[in-house]
Amino acid sequence: MADCVRAYEHVVEMHGFYVDFAEKVMRFDLVIDFEVRGRVAYFDRVLSAAHELYPEFQLVTTMDADYTD
């Protein structure tokens, strides 16, 4: 999963990754660069690609923000 989301240049960070194999759920947060126009659409595109790799899993995700310099 990490390689999939890191392939997108404007994904700054992925954290809080948790997998429940019994329930088929993946949880994680993604930090999308503030410079990206249409951050929500970009976030959705990354999640769509991730879901294509793991269609049997429910993805519970949050678009997080990084306020550090």
**What confidence tens digit (pLDDT) does each residue in 26-63 have?**
999 999 998 899 999 999 999 999 999 999 999 999 99
Distance of alpha carbon 14 from alpha carbon 5, whole angstroms: 8
Domain CATH code at residue 47: 3.30.70.1350
Can you give the residue range of the structural domain that contains 48? 2-64
What pLDDT does 69 receive? 60
> Residue 23: which region, alpha, beta or left (left: phi > 0; alpha: psi -120 to 50)?
alpha
Residue 59 has a CB neighbour count (10 Å cut-off) of 14
Model pTM?
Answer: 0.85
What pLDDT does 43 receive? 94
In a domain, 33, yes or no: yes
Distance of alpha carbon 68 from alpha carbon 37, whole angstroms: 19
Residue at token pair 């126009």: 37
- Please report how many Cα atoms fall inside a 13 Å half-sphere around the Cα of residue 53, on the Cβ side: 12
